[in-house]
Amino acid sequence: MKPNNIRSIRIETAVKITAAIIGLIGFLSVAGYISIVYSSLFMLLFPFSIYLEYKKVGHPQRWLLNLAALAVIIFSFLRLDSKDLVTPTVEGLLMLICVKFLEDKKFRDYMQIYAISLFLLAGSALLSIDIAFSIYFMGLVFLLPAAIVLLTYYSQEPDLELAKGTVIKIISKSLLIPLIAMPVTLVFFIALPRTSNPLFNFLNRGEKAKTGFTDKVKLGGISGIQEDSTAIFRAQMDKVDDRILYWRGIVLDSFDGASWTRSGEGASGEYQLNITGRKITQIIYLEPYENIYVFALDKPYSIAIKDLKKHGDLAFTTPKTIDRRIRYEAVSVMSDAITEENINKNHYLQLPEDISPEIVKAAKETASKAESGTQIPNAVLNFLSRGNYKYSLQNLPITKNPLEDFLFKHKYGNCEYFASAMAVMLRAAGIPARLVGGYRGGYYNDMGKYYLVPQKNAHVWVEAYVNNNWMRFDPTPAPIQGFVSQRELGILFKIRLTVDLINYYWNITVINYDFERQISLFNKIRMGIKKPAFNLSIDREMLIRYFIGIFIAVAAVFAGYAVLSGKRSPETRLLTVFQKRMEGFGYRRGGSQGLEEFAESVKDERLKEHALRFVKEFERIYYKDRRFNKEEIKRLKAVIEELKSIIPKRKSASKPL
């Protein structure tokens, strides 16, 4: 008997739905890394292909689509660049999958859609392996086996219709494949040998991260970047006083009137750290950005990165641009000073020849009010803090004389203006000074025990040379104490922090699981086997509790199984009662005997009539693949009750008990 159409599913429909979901996952995995032109084309063509399938209005000619596919392949090949092989390839694959969706699809076309979706996911892994990748990966891992099983049915009988329950059973059983494979995959992930460097790193596209940090400070140059809340790095460490959260990156010592640059004059000098302060160790996860400087708490004592160059002004640089996420350990000393003798004072007193006389005059007047030479930096700091200067990110005074206009005309600016003004005034007053660039503050995640430092916290401060020590001064009045302003510390921001925590653990456990950590894990396992730390003391009371707990758990499992297995459906109970009633008349149903066949075997005509009546009504409901309702159950029970009034002839029994 053919199932009711409402409760059945065409196998072709199931295949089309799974193919559409798989293709959509492939697109979503790369959507954030490709041109908006290609994303827009997919978002137009993909729904259009679904519309064609739904309306059954026909498909474009296959030869035309093949020509389009060939054009896509040629165009993608011509766009290949040695600096970025992945993006053009991924964009080409996305257009190919659009072509496949527009076709009148056969078995081969569906398999190609599955394969292209896998290639898109693989391409996204070369662009960025973040937590979103794991979601798309798991989606394909669980969907593809079910899709291939359904496609196998489709290849044998395209017009096949299956009961909804049957389709669900097929899909649920196909999920056993990834469920079995996942533990094995985890073992392979942990145990398979790793190289010290990624094998396919040459394919990775250099990520172009926005950053508030540059190796050249031009007044007003980072005003927009300070509004960017994306993370530049995360520092795993204990929580410390916000006042010491200065993350050192670069030292700028040359000023031309509008910009500060790094000359390298002080970078090669020898220095001597005052190590009487507390040492703080940080594990830093630095995001890709287009520069060579790495960050650590001021004053960084050591940073563990291969081939890292350590400069005399406490800047640390990598041999090449940081184009992928890196992990390193840094040790910083919480000291107020960097002791350095015999510096080139003329270099740190350098000012442009056309420096504004008004700035020089203001600097000397301010210095004259200081009680001693060592107090000049504090005097300049007071000049800026009490001079009605305001911190602002909007409409920064970029003119031909930005510093002069800031000090005597506009009186507002960002950290670059305040730090530049103080350093120039110190130099004009005879105090060697330089700028230090990096980041200020950060938001501490208590669950993950790390600081999240955003791009907008890019900051510049001043170091003044007093009594053979470089001392830190921060003239900027803006309190950059955390990741966001107070109004952002609501429920949405807490959700964002939770998501960031998930990303953080994903990065440290999966992405940064390298050869070094693999060896460390194996060594721990080996030492655990050689020297197992067993505690042989037995707590009898605790042991009894464990056994009682295990007994209760096992008993609960068996009880639950007994209840569930004993809970039969209404149709099963009805059929059992009917068969027992028929056994009372001397008729037992055979193990392979159908219901109608059993009823037809009854010799007594009256009994046969009632038995067939029950069977016909039962099958009419049962083969609709739905639950029996109360009225139907009541009606069938009435038929069974009528059997009691029948007194069949005993000789009619075909299978006497």
Residue of 182, 180, 181, 174 lying closest to 152 (CA atoms): 174
Tell me, yes or no, whether 51 lies in a domain. yes
Q: Residue 102 has which token pair?
A: 């527009």
Judged against a pLDDT cut of 50, whether residue 219 lies above it is answered with: yes
More confident residue, 109 or 195: 109
Task: Please give the pLDDT value at position 225.
Answer: 43
CA-based end-to-end distance of the chain: 32
Q: Which of 127-131, 327-331, 548-552, 588-592 has the lowest mean pLDDT?
A: 548-552
Cα separation, 212 vs 133, in Å, equals 27
- Based on the domain organization, do 289 and 350 belong to the same domain? yes
Sign of CA dihedral 65, 71, 75, 77: positive
Task: Return the CA Rg of the chain.
Answer: 38
**Residue 524 counted as domain residue:** no
For the chain, the average pLDDT equals 79
In a domain, residue 330? The reply is yes
Highest mean pLDDT: which range of 56-65, 146-155, 501-510, 547-556: 146-155
Residues 198 and 261 in one domain: no
Whether residues 190 and 268 share a domain: the answer is no
Q: Is residue 82 part of a domain?
A: yes
Q: In which element (H, E) is residue 8 found?
A: strand 8-10
Q: What pLDDT score does 466 carry?
A: 92
pLDDT of residue 541: 56
In a domain, 523, yes or no: no
pLDDT above 50 for 485: no
Separation between Cα atoms, residue 639 and residue 168, nearest integer Å: 34
Tokens of 585: 């008349």
Domain co-membership, 160 together with 235 = no
Contact 501, 512 (CB under 8 A): no
Contacts of 554 (CB under 8 A, 6+ apart): none
- Please tell me whether the peptide bond between 299 and the residue prior to it is cis, using omega within 30 degrees of 0: yes
Given a contact cutoff of 8 angstroms between Cβ atoms, the answer to whether 296 and 329 are in contact is no
In terms of average pLDDT, the best of 413-427, 502-516, 587-601, 621-635 is 413-427
Between 231 and 500, the more confident residue is 231
Q: Are residues 294 and 194 in the same domain?
A: no
Residues 143 and 26 occupy one common structural domain: yes
Is the pLDDT at 215 greater than 70? The verdict is yes
With beta carbons less than 8 A apart as the criterion, state whether 348 and 434 touch: yes
Q: Which of 68-82, 105-119, 143-157, 490-504 bottoms out in mean pLDDT, i.e. has the lowest? A: 490-504
pLDDT in tens, 128-137: 767 777 788 8
The pLDDT score that the predictor gives to residue 641 is 84
Q: What is the pLDDT of residues 539-583, one digit of tens each?
A: 555 555 555 656 666 666 556 545 544 456 777 888 888 888 888
pLDDT of 486 strictly over 60? no
Of the two residues 122 and 521, the one the predictor is more confident about is 122
Residue 534 — pLDDT band, cuts 50, 70, 90? Answer: very low
Highest mean pLDDT: which range of 307-311, 521-525, 587-591: 307-311
Distance, in Å, from the CA atom of 566 to the CA atom of 577, rounded to the nearest integer, reads 15
- Regarding whether 180 and 89 lie in a shared domain, the answer is yes
Scanning 258-375, the segments in alpha helix (DSSP H) are 345-348, 357-368
Indicate the residue type of 44. Answer: L
* Same domain for 263 and 177: no
| Residues 6 or more apart whose Cβ sits within 8 Å of residue 319 | 292, 307, 309
- Of 449, 483, 517, which marks where a domain is finished? 483
Percent of the chain with pLDDT over 70: 76
**What's the average model confidence in pLDDT over 117-134?**
80
Q: Looking at the structure, tell me whether residues 320 and 198 fall in a common domain.
A: no
Is the pLDDT score of 520 beyond 70? no
User: Which of 334, 315, 316 lies closest to 275 in space, CA to CA?
Assistant: 334
Domain count of the fold of the chain: 3
DSSP helix/strand/coil, 516: helix
- Determine the average pLDDT of the residues in 289-311: 91
Task: Indicate whether 198 and 220 sit together in one domain.
Answer: no
What DSSP letter does each residue of 262-279 carry, written as one string?
A: --STTTTS--EE-TTS-E
Q: Is residue 208 part of a domain?
A: no
Q: Cα separation of 296 and 440, whole Å?
A: 11
Residue ending a domain, choose from 467, 483, 499: 483
Residues 239 and 160 in one domain: no
SS3 state of residue 489: coil
Half-sphere exposure of 501 (CA within 13 A, CB side): 14
Chain center to CA of 135: 8
Q: Is 60 exceeded by the pLDDT of residue 456?
A: yes
Question: Is the Cβ–Cβ distance between 356 and 404 less than 8 Å?
Answer: yes
Q: Is the pLDDT of residue 474 over 90?
A: yes
Q: Which of 451, 483, 515 represents a domain boundary (last residue)?
A: 483
Q: Is residue 450 part of a domain?
A: yes
402: pLDDT strictly greater than 60: yes
Average of pLDDT values for 241-245?
A: 89
15 lies in which domain range? 5-202
For the segment 350-358, the average pLDDT, to the nearest whole number, is 90
Which of 126-130, 297-301, 337-341, 595-599 is least confident?
A: 126-130
Residues 255/350, Cβ–Cβ less than 8 Å: yes
pLDDT tens string 5-26: 446 788 888 899 999 999 999 9
Q: Tell me which of 643 and 547 has the higher pLDDT.
A: 643
Q: Say if residues 410 and 397 touch (Cβ distance below 8 Å).
A: yes
- pLDDT of 187-212, one tens digit each? 665 656 555 555 455 445 444 434 46
Same domain flag for 103 and 147: yes
Query: Out of 93-97, 277-281, 468-472, 627-631, which region has the weakest mean confidence (pLDDT)?
Result: 627-631
Contact at 8 Å (CB) between 130 and 146?
A: no
Q: What percent of the chain has pLDDT over 90?
A: 23
Q: Is position 555 within any domain?
A: no
